[in-house]
Structure 1
Amino acid sequence: MSGDELQTLHGTGSFPFMTRLTRRAALAGGAATLALAACAPKASDTASKPDIAPAPPGFRDGVAIAAAIAAGETSALAEVEAAIARARAVEDQINGIVTETFEIARADAGGVLAGPFAGVPSFIKDLIDWRGAPTLRGCRGLEGHVAATDSVFAARWRRAGIVSLGKSATPEAGLISSTEPLSNGPTRNPWDVSRIPGGSSGGAAALVAAGVVPFAHASDGGGSIRIPASTCGVFGMKPSRDRLPYSEPGAAAPPLQISVNHAVTISVRDSVELFRAAEVPGGAYPALGEIQPLTRRLKIGFAPEPIGGTTLHSDTRAAIEDVAQLCRDLGHTVIDYTLPMDGPKFTDAFIMYWAAGAGEFARQVSAYSGKPVSPDILEPWTLGLANMAASRMDDLPGIVGYLLAFEEEYHSFFSGLDILLTPVTGSPAVAIGEQAPDRDFDAVMDSVLSFVAYTSPMNVAGAASMSVPLSWSPSGLPIGAMFSGRRGDDRLLFELALELEAARPWAGRRPAVTSL
């Protein structure tokens, strides 16, 4: 089976927003409330404020590395060797790499490279194809699958001159908010190795946070760029739908495309330049162009409080209220806001659409492996989602219709607002094992629902959204702030991100596990 064929109903590479919904409740058609609502901002909690952390001497992001290579100050091969050494220094502690392709990287670095990131080392998330490397999607049933060609997105990175050192870890099919696949074992958070790095781009975020590479490929169908960016203290932009390549040429289009490709980065400018390098020419949007820090002041809707039966962690509350105050201090108008939407209806629809994708993935893995859908080839979490979908397949046409109509509803939220500000997750990173895919299904669901509370509406709406690493908990865990706009607001979010990065730099903060 080709890489093009190994796609779920909505595309792999993402973890959805989920509510407090047990498998039993789902089978009965139940759902819970979307955790995006408003509450009055409170006084800033200084315990969540990070120290100002400008980049230390010698720190280089991808743009700087590419410039040094172009100027002859270093070489692509030297940068690849240095990154390999950094990977070896920390990999035993974080387990962020599924497949090392160091020899291929050395050969690529010794060849002719061109593009804006010529010679810069990175990693490709193990949900898309990079020619010559395995694509396992975190799944034991796909053992032996090696990509013959690049995916449409990976081809853009190769043309940009990026050198891949291997495939970064992801949960099976990107279906959960922790990166603990049975096929590879848990990936650990460099800030505290007893904690998860988030998912599904957990390996990518851990490798970037630990300083192995300045950026890494990531994807997001319900929060999978923003969640690990938040828990690992890096920057993560989820592009608008159709801004960057995702679907393979000739592949059947899903009913609703919720997943997007991009990256997690240390610097905002790397994210901007990677975005520009991968843009779809002549698409539905004008080219991103040059980006400068924001100058106009915004009206920001502040919605920190979960209302779906979950509790916002006190550290996350203090952090997001502090970010709201930072925005006020920068001259923006911050407005209390309540999302005017039917949270239970949206959540039920999103979860069932996501579960249908898990069911399709299970069928594809069975066809590839020649084995029946079973725990021999798929994790209990994936099987639980697939069974959930099977109980309500007759509802799928109506679910798809509702989700397709949600984009217009979402964009109506911005009447009188420019941006929404929310947490990314309901708490800092939780413990390794709490969301393990072979743990009791309902127990894992409870943990997931408490943790992932804000991200999926932007995927359904195709809207731009980003996690910005502006806060750390008193115990030293990163807590991202999520800023979300309309579909096509990528430029506005990048401008705001540059302003926030200048106001509260983060590049100099170092986790407990670092190769720098």
Structure 2
Amino acid sequence: MTTFEEQSEGHSEAQVRVHVFRDDALGDHDAVGLAQAIRRGEVSAAEAARDASARVRAVEDRLNAVQVHLDIPVHGSGSGGALAGVPTFVKDNTDFQGLPTGHGSLAFAPRAARRHAPFTRQFLSTGVTVLGKTRLPEFGFSPTTEYEAGEPVRNPWHTGHSAGGSSGGSAALVAAGAVPIAHANDGGGSIRIPAACCGLVGLKPTRGRMVANAQGRQLPIDLVTDGVVSRSVRDSAAFLAAAEQHWRNPKLPPVGLVEGPSDRRLRIGLLVDSPNGVRSDDDTREAVTETARRLERLGHTVEPVELSIDPHFTDDFLTYWGMLSFLIGVTGRTLGTDFDRRRMDSLSRGLRESYARDWRTTPGVLRRLKRTRLAYAAAFRGLDLILSPVLAHTTPPLGHLSPTVPYATLIERLVNYVAFTPVNNVVGTPSISVPATRTNPDGLPIGVMFSGRPGAERKLLELAFELEADQAFRRLQDV
């Protein structure tokens, strides 16, 4: 069966909506609904995997979201997991035993991983069935999944636009209905950005909520947290609770299974423009202010808030990002013996070369970044959560953030796009992207973001449940 494709009025043939929702074992179930159907015996895990694979094959030539598609799916640990039998994908920057980990790069030929990464084991403990690996931009450095050579990952809502990054492959598959849920991780917004671009729920957990990877523990600031992108709040909540059954950080309050809104009314801060001075575009501002009006109608208190971060924050974050690229260039042979840093794409090379010029500033950069937690904590005095945009402007067309764009221009565009999400990575705090509205006339999703103090995942999920119950998130198959 072919994909559903609908021509967007006034646009070229390449710019269409694409989805593969149909009457098969998956239907239009979310992950929790499919797991329940499997437990009831209405469908089998094998049927779900078979039909998901068929959906992936049907949509892949339009979305380019898949790095590896397994002939034989790998089932999670036992049938007792909360998401037992739910088909999914792992992002291709995370080791999965027997599969190569390519990190989206042409700088080396990846070899098969000898063992699962710690997070992979945690992911499999939920009972999911892994069908393969999804694509990401090189080393996850970009907020769009595009390449110097090869096809980009396309947004199923509008295939002429970005699916976001770095978890763009996962988000495209979930939004298009190929699988209900997929692995994502976030080092500067890489769960929340593609969730916003593709009309999904994307929760970035608190630092330390998920099992840590070895590389992150060795860095002065561990930016990256693993999680998922999903089409419903309950899927993200169910995943988090199931992952906690595998391993729970004793230094954080347990989340448990969140199943709906709370009766507690919250004090929520409203941040419309970025703390680094970037003004949000009109569509984004309207999405955030309309969400604030909805919250007030639901009985919450919303008030303006200032997040007074260091004026050097953006430059410092870019320097730290450049340090990561520099370290990859130095240690790349651990990824593959043929690693050649000259084959890294222009964004990675530009970040690396910029750091090589400015490396002496590293101690000051680290001090200032670590102090960001003080400004963040100060902003939360008297507040429960903060509402903001996910991104400073709506989803750009493919090419706007491509690594083929000259480095200086590309960095300026990145800074003016990814202006809200990195603070949570530096401070280590949780935040969630939820769908809010859509652009006119293109119909692209716009997400809004809620951020909390460390360990506030339950509060974030409860509020997301309330917004979803108040006004169901618009689904691609219903457009």
Which 4+ runs in 1 deviate beyond 3 A?
A: 55-58, 111-114, 306-311, 366-375
Q: Which residue of 2 aligns with 1:228?
A: 194
Q: Which residue of 2 aligns with 1:83?
A: 52
Partners in 1 of 2:78 and 2:434 — Cα distance?
35
Higher mean C-alpha displacement, 379-388 vs 182-191: 182-191
Q: Which residue of 1 aligns with 2:420?
A: 454
Partners in 2 of 1:367 and 1:56 — Cα distance?
43
Matches within 5 A, 1:328-477: 328-342=296-310, 344-366=311-333, 368-370=335-337, 373-375=340-342, 377-475=343-441, 476-477=443-444
Deviation at 1:366, TM superposition (A): 4.6
Whether the 8 Å contact between 1:216 and 1:264 is mirrored in structure 2 is: yes
Deviation at 1:282, TM superposition (A): 4.8
Deviation at 1:446, TM superposition (A): 2.1
Q: Which residue of 1 aligns with 2:180?
A: 214
Q: Which residue of 1 aligns with 2:447?
A: 480
Deviation at 1:142, TM superposition (A): 3.1
Q: Which amino acid aligns with 1:120?
A: V
Residues 1:304 and 2:272 are matched in the alignment: yes
Q: Which residue of 1 aligns with 2:257?
A: 290
Partners in 2 of 1:509 and 1:112 — Cα distance?
32
Residues 1:127 and 2:98 are matched in the alignment: no
Two-structure CA RMSD over aligned residues (Å): 2.2
For structure 2, the 5+ residue unaligned runs are 1-20
Q: Which amino acid aligns with 1:243?
A: R
Residues 1:261 and 2:254 are matched in the alignment: no
Q: Which residue of 2 aligns with 1:202?
A: 168
Q: Which amino acid aligns with 1:134?
A: P
Q: Which residue of 2 aligns with 1:49?
A: none
> Identity of paired residues, percent?
37
Whether the 8 Å contact between 1:141 and 1:366 is mirrored in structure 2 is: no
Q: Which residue of 2 aligns with 1:275?
A: 240
TM normalised by structure 1 equals: 0.83
Q: Deviations over 1:105-131 (max 9, x none)?
A: 0x648x964422111100111110111
Whether the 8 Å contact between 2:390 and 2:420 is mirrored in structure 1 is: yes
Partners in 2 of 1:368 and 1:228 — Cα distance?
26
Q: Tell me which of the two structures has the higher relative contact order, counting C-alpha pairs closer than 8 angstroms and 6 or more residues apart.
A: 1
Q: Which residue of 1 aligns with 2:142?
A: 176
Residues 1:500 and 2:462 are matched in the alignment: no
Q: Deviations over 1:279-303 (max 9, x none)?
A: 2325212321232312111111111
Q: Which residue of 1 aligns with 2:10?
A: none
SS at match of 2:367: helix
Check 1:252–1:493 CA distance in 2 against 1; reply closer, same or farther (3 A cut).
closer
Whether the 8 Å contact between 1:302 and 1:335 is mirrored in structure 2 is: yes
Deviation at 1:493, TM superposition (A): 0.3
Q: Deviations over 1:303-353 (max 9, x none)?
A: 1124756442221122111111111111111101222232x2222222111
Q: Find the partner of 1:104 among 57, 68, 72.
A: 72
SS at match of 2:355: helix
TM normalised by structure 2 equals: 0.89
Deviation at 1:438, TM superposition (A): 2.5
Higher mean C-alpha displacement, 198-207 vs 400-409: 400-409
SS at match of 1:319: helix
Q: Which amino acid aligns with 1:338?
A: E
For structure 1, the 5+ residue unaligned runs are 1-54
Check 1:308–1:345 CA distance in 2 against 1; reply closer, same or farther (3 A cut).
closer
SS at match of 1:164: strand
Partners in 2 of 1:138 and 1:340 — Cα distance?
35
Q: Which amino acid aligns with 2:54?
A: A
Deviation at 1:368, TM superposition (A): 4.2
Deviation at 1:473, TM superposition (A): 1.3
Whether the 8 Å contact between 1:69 and 1:119 is mirrored in structure 2 is: yes
Residues 1:490 and 2:457 are matched in the alignment: yes
